[in-house]
Chain A
């Protein structure tokens, strides 16, 4: 087993309490008319996270080359999820 985060060697995202797995998300989205597989659900989430990561990097004058890594980082996703939930933004 490689040491470090799963996100550094592949895809890994956090599931907050009450959240669903990518398979469940794909099923739900398919049920409401948007047919997709679990991988598409994961890719869409990562793309959404990139949008947050770009703005956060701009705020803290960070190098934009790391956006992919930041977006896939479960710690970053956890923070974004907590923030959205606490602030009831969505």
Chain B
């Protein structure tokens, strides 16, 4: 934890928590435009904001940013709190803080910026899939999900595509939570030749060359003719080197 955060936590811990009566009294003053009352209401609930922010620490955002966002949510809650309804402030503020932090996390989570309603739909989709799995022991089909969410299947597919994108520059988290390599470093390049194939190819080339050196010109020429690799010309006869014994054998065979 950074020193700045430690100092912040120490300072926040000094503000006393409010009783229900104090909350109502402060809310009344805030309604009448008392700036100090608003400050006190915010300061006394900063610990709540921190506790909510900490819950989202593992979502890939820094704790400092999360605390800042949750504080923004807290301020919004202070502005909108209606003491007449009889609820504790923390009950009301919790949802505003959570909403603010979740919006921030969602906006940072993907390289593709998704509209708020799409993110909500994705959240609903995940909840629906989990409930379906718990109840039926299997995943729902895309059609079932689209019917449950009330959206066309094509929209659902687009949403899923957008949400499942991953940056090649993203770090791979290991078991200890640390990050070492990037995704791009471990994605296989299917276009590059396989190392084993390359080694095989080199070995086979060597073997083929070795075999070729042992071929007689007559054999080589017949291979050419048989497989149409090259056409022999009358000049090639000059290059035919054949031993006398082979010549005699050919003559003998042809008789």
Which residues on A are within 8 Å of B, measured CB to CB? 13-20, 22, 24-25, 28-29, 32-37, 40-41, 44-45, 47-48, 51-52, 54-56, 58-59, 80-81, 83-85, 87, 89-90
Contact = CB atoms under 8 A, between A and B. Distances in A.
B250 A34 contact: yes
B229 A34 contact: no
B225 interface: yes
- For the complex, would chain B's binding face be called helix, strand, loop or mixed by DSSP majority? helix
Contacts of A14: 227
A22 B222 CA distance: 9
B207 A48 contact: no
Interface of B: 203-205, 207-212, 214-215, 218-230, 232, 234, 236-237, 240, 242, 250-251, 253-254
B225 to A, nearest CB: 5
B134 to A, nearest CB: 54
30 contacts: A16-B226, A17-B228, A19-B225, A19-B228, A20-B225, A25-B222, A29-B218, A29-B221, A32-B232, A33-B240, A34-B218, A34-B240, A34-B242, A36-B254, A37-B253, A41-B222, A41-B226, A44-B219, A45-B219, A45-B222, A45-B223, A51-B214, A52-B208, A56-B207, A59-B204, A59-B207, A81-B227, A89-B212, A90-B229, A90-B230
- For the complex, would chain A's binding face be called helix, strand, loop or mixed by DSSP majority? helix
Given A17-B228, A47-B219, A35 B251 contact: yes
Nearest to B253: A40
A55 B250 contact: no
B219 A84 contact: no
